[in-house]
Amino acid sequence: MANKSGLGRGLASLISTSSTEEEVVQGPVDEIAIDLIEPNAKQPRSDFDEEKLEELTASIINYGLLQPIVVRPLGGKYQIIAGERRWRACLKANLDKIPVRILTKNDQESVEIALVENLQRDDLNPIEAAYGYRSLLVTYDMTQADVAKRLGKSRVSITNTLRLLDLPQEIQEMVFKGLLTAGAARAILGVKDAEGQMKLAQKAADENLSVREIETIARLYTGGALPKSARPVSPKSYRNVARRLRRLLDASVSVRRTRNKNKIEIEFMDEEDLMRIFNIMASK
């Protein structure tokens, strides 16, 4: 299966040279008491789907935890580096001990590994990823190029994700909840004032606008008011042709101009109606 996240390297390759891939993937598995394990407050992922968590819990009850979590020693206990969702499911399953792989990693390495683990699974919400990237930039004084290199992603991808944090908090929450895609949210950045961004975000969510439609509205946005339509106004001749085609075909027809091309759209009810329209057009 193709790697949708664009990560060019595996989890092990992001760990510092003091640990090899063999140590991470094939290293020894220990079993420790679950009450000695604590989550990492800097874990980039904060949203855990409850239904999926229940499904994982049921699987663990039936078959046990098949994939150990990764932890590091910290303050007499162990802090999770990767696998918090599995740990939460083990708690729900009332396990006393769970299998772990113990690594000695510093704070920065732990955040990197947690980011990669979630990104490789396509589980990390774009907003969570953005905050994770910013944590690496601010806390560890890394550049965007550094983050891109460490995570095996393009610098453009890092930059585009970080741009989401320029949006008002309310719009970030819409992306987090899945009401807006990351692409839609970035298109909203075409509107410069926060009030206009909020109006466009709500319109985009309510009307399920495409990214292209949002971009068009953002360009047309003036004076704090949204235009009624995302589409440019078609010439009068287009409307005349559409009206004549509707009469000829006895069907709903639209002739409109888009950004790069012009379109004729004809609606039909079913296969029989389609053949009726085809026969009319073929006979002319």
Are 211 and 219 in contact by the 8 Å Cβ rule? The answer is no
* Other Cβ atoms closer than 10 A to 64: 12
Q: How far apart are CA 62 and CA 281, in angstroms?
A: 63
Q: How many CA atoms lie within 13 A of 111 on its CB side?
A: 21
SS3 category, 90 = helix
Q: Which of 84, 117, 128, 213 is catalytic?
A: 84
SS3 category, 239 = helix
Are 137 and 147 in contact by the 8 Å Cβ rule? The answer is yes
Residue 31 bears catalytic tag = no
Are 142 and 136 in contact by the 8 Å Cβ rule? The answer is yes
Active-site positions read 84
